[in-house]
Every structure is written in structure tokens, then in C-alpha cells.
Amino acid sequence: MEPTFSVVIPTFNRAELLERTVKALLGQMGADLEVIVVDDGSTDSTPARLQGIADPRVRLHRQPNQGLAAARNAGFALARGRYVLFNDDDLVPEPGFLAAHLELHGQLPGVAVVSRTYLPEELGNAPFTRYWRARAEGGVRGKPNGAVLGKGGYWFASLSIGRNLLPNPPFSAFRAYGWEEHELGLRLWAKGVQPRLAVGARAAHLDRVCLEAMVAKLGSMGRMAWEFYGLHPSLEVAFWTGANPLSLAYKRWFYPWAKAQRLLEDRAWESTSVAFGNYSFILEAAYTRGLLEGKP
């Protein structure tokens, strides 16, 4: 008999976080599941940790490192459940997580159900952690259960959707980090599949973010914006991503990388009231630099 949920978890060298996430999923009540872990070329103890769990609901697929989109596609190809739940290896679900997903699918057939993720206090309260917590959670704070999140709301870091609603393979191959989720979300939105927030599907995001890592990610997103536009050459995508001459000129003028470099070199401002504004400027400048580097 097919499970209700196929949980697809891509992973790369994060054995300890992965083990915690898988165990939390296996402890869920109210829905049958299989957990498909796609080990995307890990060199750590990932296989041994999973073997130690010894639960027949856990399936491990190993492959050479190919990136997030390829790992998710491989997991989808193995999925047998009625719903596929993509869940990153550092998102640890709370009790009632799967039940909340299933309940919203029952209330709103044909939607994509997005988890309510948050940065837990165990990650600390360093200045950038506080900034990222506010930024990451701000898009859903105060929204009711079932709220439509808009075209940018397909967060495949933790999202479930009817397996029959997804193309095969779901994700387009980008050369680097950035826009894979938005690109698939745009295609789903065009088919009438809306992203809806499941307030009760809470998951702790245990990624210890730092400014340097996010600068690298935003730079990659800037470079990959041109690939997104190449797949969907429309005014909507051009202005959404900034991959057009007008937006690029604006960003280049207002977010010069030279100023961001000066802020990164002397970070005494992090303990002052201007910290959040400077973080936002640096990340926007990093994205702009990526746009300039990736421009065809």
C-alpha cells in the first residue's frame, strides 16, 4: 500500500542534522510516510547514521554530488506516496507537523502546503542571527492557516504537494545555487497550484547562518537570475529577478559593491542600531554583483 507522504530529504555532509531530522519525522503521528534520503556525494558518516536508525520506512539513495535540484529530482523519482514532501536536512519538524500538512490538503485540494519554519533560540542571538530570524520569518508572521503566500511563496525547503501535480522531473537544472524553487513555483502557479501556509506544520530551521555564507548565496542567485530569465523570458521574470537593463542600472547605482566591502572589512557597526540596515545593503549589493557577473 502506498504511503500518504513521501518525504524527500537531500543531504550533503550534514550527518548529525540529518539524523535529528529523520528521527523527528519518524516520530510523527497521524499519517503514513516513507523517508527518502538522497545522499548527494557525502563524505561524512551519513550512511552509518542512517543504518543506525534501522527503520524500514527510511530509504537511502546515494549519488555523486550533483547539487540540490538533481538530488530532489532523484528523490521524487523514487517516491510512492500520495503527497511528496520536500524537506531539507536541517529542518526538524515539531509534533503535529505531518498532521497539519494532511489537514490542509484535505481542506484545500490541489494546493502546495508550506511549512511554518522558524530559527530556534538554540541558534543564539548574535546580531546577524537576529536579523536573519526577522527576515526569514517576516513573510508569514501573523498570517492565518491556509493563507495564500503568492508567487514567491513556494519554499521547497519544507513543502508538500500531490505527487500527480508535479512535472517529472520537477526541478530544472541550474549551474549553481539560486532560483530552482522559484522557477518550479512559477510553473505551478500557472497551473493554478497555489502555495498555502500550514501554521501548525512547524519546523525548526537549524542552519547556523552567517553573513559570509549568505553573501555567497546571494551572489550565486544574482548570477543564476539570468538562467531563470532564459527559461522564462518575460517582463515579469525580468523585473522579479533584476535581469534587465533598467533594474541593473538602478541596483548598480544604489548598491555599489565597494561600499559593501568597506562594511565587511570594519564591522564595528554590528553592535549598533544601523546593523539591520547594513546587513540588507550588503546582501543586496552581493546580489547585484552576481547579476553583473552573470550578465550574458
235: cell is 517582463
pLDDT, tens digit, 9 for 90 and up, residues 190-230 = 999 999 999 999 999 998 889 999 999 999 999 999 999 99
Structure confidence at residue 187 (pLDDT)? 98
Structure confidence at residue 208 (pLDDT)? 87
Enumerate the domain spans of the chain: 5-205, 211-294
pLDDT, tens digit, 9 for 90 and up, residues 9-64 = 999 999 999 999 999 999 999 899 999 999 999 999 999 999 899 899 999 999 99
The CATH architecture assigned to 5-205 reads Alpha-Beta Complex (3.90)
pLDDT, tens digit, 9 for 90 and up, residues 253-281 = 999 999 999 999 999 999 999 999 999 99
pLDDT, tens digit, 9 for 90 and up, residues 237-260 = 999 999 999 999 999 999 999 999
Mean pLDDT of the chain: 96
Residue 102 has pLDDT above 80, yes or no: yes
